[in-house]
Structure 1
Amino acid sequence: MKLLFLGTSAGRPTAHRNVTSIALVFPEDQNRFWLFDAGEGTQHQLLRSKLKLGKLNRIFITHMHGDHVYGLPGILSSRTYYEGAGKLELYGPPGLRAYVESVLRYSEAHLNYELDIHEFEGDGQAFDDGRFRIETGELAHRVRSFGYRIEEHPRSGRLDLAYLASRGAAPGPLYGKLKRGEDIVLPDGSVIRAADAVGPSAKGRIVTILGDTVKCERAARLAKDADLLVHEATFGIGLEEKAALYGHSTFLQAAEIAASAGAKRLVVSHISARYADEDVEALIGHAGAVFPNIEAAYDFKEVCI
């Protein structure tokens, strides 16, 4: 499982950074990915990656500012050309449904797949598919902005293949039963207990992706004990007042949130166009004094989880 940053600029695109979008990519056997935000040009960024729109089955929007949603109509329309793409679930704040339905109506776009739009009013659970649970929390920005906490359910332990071979259990459907915690009976009548053949379950991973926000308690709550936190860092150190005025955070404030939340790793994104690469490196260095495991996102950066 990994994150692919498709856009990392704040407000407007630059020659080197597109506006916000992040893909959560699952292992190939799951054959799917999710998008978090879809700023203008996101589908062009997807074309430069290995991801295919037909494998996209969920989109999560943090807030309705253009640098987070202007790419959405193009993605929805282009997905029609991928045969067998199937149902698409779209999640986001109030206003998302009206925005999408208006664009589709006035552009006379026709989707050949089912689009299910979910709007939420505040904190709570967005969904739980049995493998992942997503919690939303409202942040502090100029418009209603949300963060997403993606919690993976505990994963079943590894099969003890050497033990199974010693018991004469051949690979096949019985292995699946053991992974589900069910005891099995071999052709000779002997029983293999799942507790003996499967190792301890692994703790699920936690990924927190926040929309635009000033430094706030809810951001820390959503990021509590996260394996990976993605936090905006629009402004540099010394511009705290400007950041607050526009509803944003600094590099240092993002580091403070990660530290207070007990997150393991922090990637900052949504970086102002005023900062060149060497400026970003310097800001990361300063913020690293507060939270050492911090790094800056850039377009097409991959982060394994």
Structure 2
Amino acid sequence: MPLRVTFLGTSGAVPTTERNPSAIYVAREGDELLFDCGEGTQRQMMCFGTGFSVSQLFVTHTHGDHVLGIPGLIQTLDFNEREKPLAIHVPSGRRREIRSLVHALDTDPDFPITISAVGGGDVAYRGDDYEVRVFDVDHDTRAVGYALVEDERKGRFDRERAEELGVPVGPKFSQLHEGEPVELEDGTVVQPEQVVGDPRPGRSVVYTGDTRPTVATVEAAAEPDLLIHDGTFADDRVERASETGHSTARGAARIATEAGAKRLALVGTSSRYAGDVSDHHAQAQEVFDGDLLIPDDGDELEIPHLDA
């Protein structure tokens, strides 16, 4: 089952000619999710071919570089004669600001929009075989992060073992894989655990939005396949990062290491680095020995099952 992440916007608060403000698109088997919506996100969606079938928008906080793309996106969806609903999830106490953005042009969209408030520990959305969980982060305003966590998958079915036990090829295979015992013609009962392996973990993607390094991120998902973390500053601006509620690349790498993340993507790079993120990369690599990337706008990642 495909799980694809597209980085639509990877800049900090000030966009650059190469980087748009924050927006992360996630596609999973027909579900299309958007995390944050900085200005110009709808153009990025056109540029990088994601389409506009997003059904859920998850907002980490209401600073402009994370939400000012909402009016443009809503208008574009309306112009495209959208009919299906759009659900927007926002931190508790911030529904009014998002409602104002949805109706910024003093018009009502022709498709339904719901705005729900979420806080740490909530499940913002439940999809088929996965959920999007909410965790608290540490920014200089009310803010949350989101973790997309898939359900456990069934263990592998050992066909060879099943045949050795006398299970005939056919429906009884499916019954066993679904966890039901089956009775053979001679009265022998075969239990699922005899032919089905242990449950296999699903995949997980964690997105922090803007935050200082925090233990809540470590706890959001055990050993995430991908951690997308604020990496606004390099070591030269450690104090500035703390003052403004952001992380350095090194600080994000420490969190990734503690969380057991398999991949770390640093986003939100400050425009003051003029496109040179070599220090970010080098400093993070001193701490994190997993797969590290500082994505450009338009970069895509496929998240595989480790046992595929």
TM-score category of the 2 structures, normalised to the smaller one: 0.7 to 0.9
Partner of 1:41: 40
Cα–Cα, structure 1 residues 184 and 35, in superposed 2: closer, same or farther, change >3 Å? farther
1:21 positional shift? 0.3
Corresponding residue of 2:92: 94
Larger CA deviation: 148-157 vs 43-52 = 148-157
Q: TM-score, normalised by structure 2?
A: 0.83
**Partner residue, 1:285:** 282
Asked if the contact 1:80/1:113 (under 8 Å) is kept, the reply is: yes
Give yes or no for contact 2:119–2:144 (8 Å, CA) kept in 1: no
Cα deviation, residue 201, structure 1: 3.3
SS of the residue 2:14 aligns to: coil
Structure 1 residues 99 and 180: alpha-carbon distance in aligned structure 2, compared to 1, 3 A threshold:
farther
Q: Give the superposition deviation at 1:97.
A: 2.5
Alignment correspondent of 1:265:
263
Q: Do the aligned residues in 2 keep the contact of 1:211 with 1:231 (CA within 8 Å)? A: yes
Corresponding residue of 1:25: 27
Distance in 1 (CA, whole Å) between partners of 2:27 and 2:91 is 23
Mapped contact 2:145–2:209 kept (Cα < 8 A): yes
What code does the residue aligned with 2:16 have?
T
Cα RMSD for the two superposed structures: 3.0
What stretches of structure 1 of length at least 5 have no aligned partner? 186-190
Instruction: Name the counterpart of 2:5.
Output: 3
Give the superposition deviation at 1:52: 1.6
Structure 2 match to 1:255:
253
CA distance in structure 1 between the partners assigned to 2:279 and 2:103 by the alignment: 47
Q: What TM-score do the two structures reach when normalised by structure 1?
A: 0.84
State the distance in 1 between where 2:288 and 2:298 align.
Answer: 24
Q: Distance in 2 between matches of 1:98 and 1:303?
A: 34
- Whole-angstrom distance in 2 between the partners of 1:86 and 1:238: 47
AA aligned to 1:281 is S
Which of 104, 107, 110 is matched with 1:109 structurally?
107
Q: How does 1:124-273 map to 2 (within 5 A)?
A: 124-157=122-155, 167=168, 169=170, 180-181=178-179, 200-273=198-271
Q: How big is each residue's C-alpha offset from its partner over 1:115-161, in whole Å with a ceiling of 9 and x where there is no partner?
A: 22110244433233351122212211111111112211012345668
SS at match of 1:53: coil
Cα distance change, pair 296–103 in 1 and its aligned pair in 2 (3 A):
closer
CA distance in structure 2 between the aligned counterparts of 1:24 and 1:179, rounded to whole angstroms:
30
State whether residues 145 and 208 of structure 2, in contact with CA within 8 Å, keep that contact through their aligned partners in structure 1.
yes
Q: In the TM superposition, what is the alpha-carbon distance from 1:232 to its structure 2 partner? A: 0.7
Query: Displacement, 1:205?
Result: 1.2
Between the aligned partners of 1:249 and 1:159, the Cα distance in structure 2 is 44
2:90 paired with 1:78:
no
Find 1:120's aligned residue among 118, 121, 126: 118
Q: Distance in 1 between matches of 2:112 and 2:161?
A: 47
Return closer, same or farther for 1:289/1:79 CA change in 2, 3 Å cut-off. Answer: same
Residues 4 and 303, structure 1, Cα contact 8 Å, conserved in 2: yes
1:301 and 2:303 are equivalent in the alignment: no
CA distance in 1, matches of 2:155, 2:80: 36
SS of match in other structure, 1:33: strand
State which drifts further: 157-166 or 266-275. Answer: 157-166
* Distance apart, 1:95 and its partner CA: 4.7
Q: Unpaired segments of 5 or more residues in structure 2?
A: 184-188, 304-308
Return the letter of the residue paired with 1:44: R
Q: Give the letter for the 1:234 counterpart.
A: T
Amino acid at match of 2:234: G
How far is 1:168 from its partner? Answer: 5.1
Q: Sort the Cα spacing of 1:255 and 1:176 in 2 relative to 1 into closer, same or farther, 3 A.
A: same
1:80/1:107 CA distance change after superposition, 3 Å: same
Q: Which moved more, 1:284-293 or 1:198-207?
A: 198-207
Are the structure 2 counterparts of residues 139 and 182 from structure 1 closer, same or farther at C-alpha, using a change threshold of 3 Å?
same
CA distance in 2, matches of 1:41, 1:104: 15
Q: CA deviation at 1:302?
A: 1.1
CA contact (8 A) 2:119 2:135 kept: no
**Which amino acid is the alignment partner of residue 209 of structure 2?**
G
Deviations 1:64-114 (A, max 9, x none): 000000001222232234456522221111354212332444523332322
1:197-230 Cα offsets, whole Å, 9 max, x none, are 7655321112110021112222222254212111
Aligned to 1:188: none
Shift in Å, 1:42? 0.4
Q: How many residues align?
A: 295
**Cα distance in 1 for residues equivalent to 2:180 and 2:107:** 49
**Cα–Cα, structure 1 residues 104 and 144, in superposed 2: closer, same or farther, change >3 Å?**
closer
